[in-house]
A and B are shown apart, each in its own frame.
Chain A
Amino acid sequence: MPVTAYPALAAAGFRRYSAYRAATAAGALANTVFGAVKAAVLTGTVVAAGGSVAGYGVAQAATFAWLSQALLAPVSVFADDRLARRVRTGDVAVDLARPVDPQLAAWADDLGRAAFQLLPRGLPPLLVGALTTGLVLPPEPAGYLLGCASLVLGVSVSFALRWAVNLTAFWLIDVRGVLLLYTVCATVLTGLAVPVAWFPPWLAALAAATPFPSVLQAPADVFTGVVTGAAALRVVAVQTAWLVVVLAAGRLLLAAGSRRLVVQGG
Chain B
Amino acid sequence: MAERRADLAAYRAVLASRARAQLTYRTSFAADVLANVGVGISELATVYVVFWRVDTLGGLDVWSACLVFALANLAFALADLLVGHVDELPRHVREGTLDAFLLRPLPLLGQLATSEVSLRRLGRAGVALAVLVVALPRAGVEPSAATLALLGGSVLGGTAVFCALFVAAGALQFWLLEGREAANSFTYGGANAAQHPASLYPGPLRWVFTYVVPASFVAYLPVLALTGRTGPAGLPSWLGWCTPLAAVPVWAAALLLWRAGVRRYTGAGS
CA separation between A45 and B196, bound complex, in Å?
Answer: 12
Which B residues are in CB contact (< 8 Å) with A49?
A: 53-54
CA separation between A130 and B180, bound complex, in Å?
Answer: 27
Which B residues are in CB contact (< 8 Å) with A30?
A: 181-182, 184-185, 188-189
Main secondary structure of the interface of B (DSSP, over half): helix
CA separation between A54 and B50, bound complex, in Å?
Answer: 12
A157-197 interface bits toward B, Cβ cutoff 8 Å, 1 = contact, 0 = none: 00000000000000001101100110011011000011000
Given contacts A23-B178, A37-B196, A40-B196, contact A177 B28 (CB under 8 A): yes
Interface residue count on the A side (C-beta < 8 Å): 37
Which B residues are in CB contact (< 8 Å) with A37?
A: 189, 192-193, 196, 201, 205
Q: Which of B24-70 contact A (CB under 8 A)?
A: 28, 31-32, 34-36, 38-39, 41-42, 45-46, 49-50, 52-58
Interface residue count on the B side (C-beta < 8 Å): 40
> Which one of A34, A54, A181 lies within 8 Å of B35 (CB-CB)?
A181
Main secondary structure of the interface of A (DSSP, over half): helix
Q: Which of A18-77 contact B (CB under 8 A)?
A: 20, 22-23, 26-27, 29-30, 32-34, 36-37, 40-41, 44-45, 48-49, 53-54
Nearest first, the 7 A-B pairs at minimum CB distance are: A26-B182, A177-B31, A30-B185, A180-B35, A184-B38, A44-B200, A48-B54
Q: List 16 A-B contacts (CB under 8 A).
A: A26-B184, A27-B181, A27-B184, A33-B192, A37-B196, A41-B57, A45-B53, A48-B55, A49-B53, A177-B32, A181-B35, A184-B42, A194-B46, A198-B52, A198-B53, A203-B49
Q: Which residues on A are within 8 Å of B, measured CB to CB?
A: 20, 22-23, 26-27, 29-30, 32-34, 36-37, 40-41, 44-45, 48-49, 53-54, 132, 173-174, 176-177, 180-181, 184-185, 187-188, 193-194, 198-200, 203
